[in-house]
Amino acid sequence: MSTTPLVAIITGAVGNLGFATAQAFQAAGHRTVLVDRSADRLRDAFKSSADSPNHLIVGGVDLSDPASLGKLVETALARFGRLDVLVHTVGAWRGGKLVHDTDLADWDFLFNVNLRTTLLCCRAVVPQMLKQGRGRIITVASRDGLAGGAGYAAYSASKSAVLRLNESLADELKVSNINVNCVLPSTIDTPQNRAALPNADFSKWVEPAAIADVILFLASDASRAITGAAIPVFGKG
């Protein structure tokens, strides 16, 4: 792992995966820029980080709006002077309907949350990483992005698009020492998923902390030869 503290933007920091990722980065001694729409939720989740000079809480960020993301990057640079890592954990799931029955609003929603926010977050940080001559971008797709299945077309298609974006960005940026990689979780063991699927075998699901460990590795110098990868994080499923 890198011995130099990194500056990492972590989106969706109050979500299950975002929170676990923030904890992992902070435990490793890195500086974090914790992002969510709600500053109140961030302060509640990260009480010990609110007044720390090594961490920055940034609420009120609309990840689907380039101007909002531009302000986020400016705020982070004003505090730390550089941006080493982007970890984009924000995503959404909807499913259960056949293609011809799925509302177009659901397609628009999933592509906006899963693809557009990923695209815009990457676009926001790449210019600074190019200026620095170094960076790490880690996005989150899904095992469902590898193949479509009945009832999950919109979700699978949106996550598949994240994979193609990951590959293209990695190919474009590899000569600039910016590594772009993606993790592919299976079902994540969260309270929300347990409530939605109470009869499932939770022991086969992957814990957020386990995914966070993989993300931390991808941000480190130990992963310097890896770019354009989609890392399966399936647990026992």
What backbone phi and psi angles, to 5 degrees, belong to 182?
A: -135, 145
Catalytic residue among 25, 93, 155, 205: 155
Please tell me the distance from the alpha carbon of residue 17 to that of residue 207, in angstroms, as a whole number: 9
Please tell me the distance from the alpha carbon of residue 160 to that of residue 164, in angstroms, as a whole number: 6
What backbone phi and psi angles, to 5 degrees, belong to 230?
A: -120, 105
Alpha carbon separation from 148 to 145, 156, 163 (Å, rounded): 7, 6, 14
What tokens appear for 95 in the block?
Answer: 């499913």
Please tell me the distance from the alpha carbon of residue 1 to that of residue 35, in angstroms, as a whole number: 24
- H or E element that contains 23: helix 16-27
- Is 155 a catalytic site residue? yes
- Catalytic residue numbers? 155
